[in-house]
Structure 1
């Protein structure tokens, strides 16, 4: 039977294993954890460095949206009364418009760099048909154009392209659809994006709206043309044949 002294010795040495402190095992585990932590950090830095020069990967729905807007040649001002798009679900989506943006030049369709499109349309499906009615303020005259969207345009909307943008390689889609309108009812459709060169999809000829501006409302009055555009037209006329 152990004596009280033996019991006291056992209690005092309970923190030792074979004569060595048990806490050393805890220290070794701590050191191992630190080594693993350092190794994980090194692997992370290597991965970041390897991916630094690669194009940024888009999200799954990266090309899932598109935008549409209207432009006109410089000084050939236009007012869009309505712009509507039918998607692949059979729904017509109305896109708010009004005064259109100007291109960089008056004669011919501007082939220089510019950004088109309008508000991003996230709720609609792929565009199938487009209907646009606008007032050509330089004439003045009202036109309507209804066209079927070619497959080529829809394919361009979802095609991911690697391009150089501000010194970095990025991935973009041609998500901006732009409709050009000009006096005489001349029309054109482009699709592009900020860093991706635009593509001309088609050209067309609109019809004169027999009801006139605003479908015959407001006693046939047109939106007022700006003084600057009015002076240009009076001085140089309208280059109908250039579009």
Structure 2
């Protein structure tokens, strides 16, 4: 079974461009299916005029983690419960860096891995729908010009 054009997400910004913000906000739920063997990811950088692509294999330990209940105190419900890590989160950063985490609402996120994507040679416009790179707005570009892009922090 394959799912194409599964897209959703938000550009995470915490007023600190270095490092990662992980969580599940802006996600795209795909319910009642098995975890795939691999994830094929293609995205357009928000600060670079290029697209990236990568294929990420899901390790067996992640599958095991997702079906193993953990006894945890859930702060939102204020009770002890058995919970599962059921969410896969992908973080994409300039330079083609991708991080993958597995987690759940009451359990912390565990890092699955850090990966380096390749530049998509066809660029951002592959679907003929007029999608193209939009440069950052003037305020964002001024910030980038002054501070640079913190490539090494991801």
Return the TM-score normalized by structure 1: 0.55
Equivalent residues, number: 150
Contact 1:115 1:194 in 2 (8 A): no
Show structure 1 runs of 5+ residues with no match.
Answer: 1-90
Q: Does 1:154 align with 2:63?
A: yes
Q: Could you tell me how far apart the structure 1 residues matched to 2:43 and 2:61 are?
A: 25
Shift of 1:226: 4.8
**Alignment partner of 2:62: what SS?**
helix
Query: What's 2:148 paired with?
Result: 237
Measure, in 1, the Cα distance between the counterparts of 2:2 and 2:125: 20
Q: Confirm whether residue 174 of structure 1 aligns to residue 85 of structure 2.
A: yes
Q: Structure 2 stretches of 5 or more lacking a match?
A: none
Compare the two structures and name the one with the higher helix fraction: 1
Verify the 8 A CA contact 2:45 2:93 in the aligned structure 1: yes
Report which of the two structures shows the higher radius of gyration computed on alpha carbons.
1
Asked if 1 retains the 8 angstrom alpha-carbon contact of 2:91 and 2:100, the reply is yes
In structure 2, distance between residues paired with 1:108 and 1:153: 23
8 Å contact kept, 1:136–1:142 = yes
Cα RMSD after superposing both structures: 2.4
Return the offset for 1:144: 0.2
Please, what TM-score do these two structures have when normalized by structure 2? Answer: 0.83
String of CA shifts for 1:146-190, please: whole Å, max 9, x gaps: 111111211121111111113310221111111111111111100
Distance 1:231 1:102 in 2: 19
Could you say which structure has the greater relative contact order, defined with CA pairs below 8 angstroms and 6 or more residues apart? 2
| Aligned pairs (5 A) from 1:74-223 | 91-94=1-4, 96-98=6-8, 100-104=10-14, 105-110=16-21, 115-116=23-24, 118-166=27-75, 167-215=78-126, 217=128, 221-223=132-134
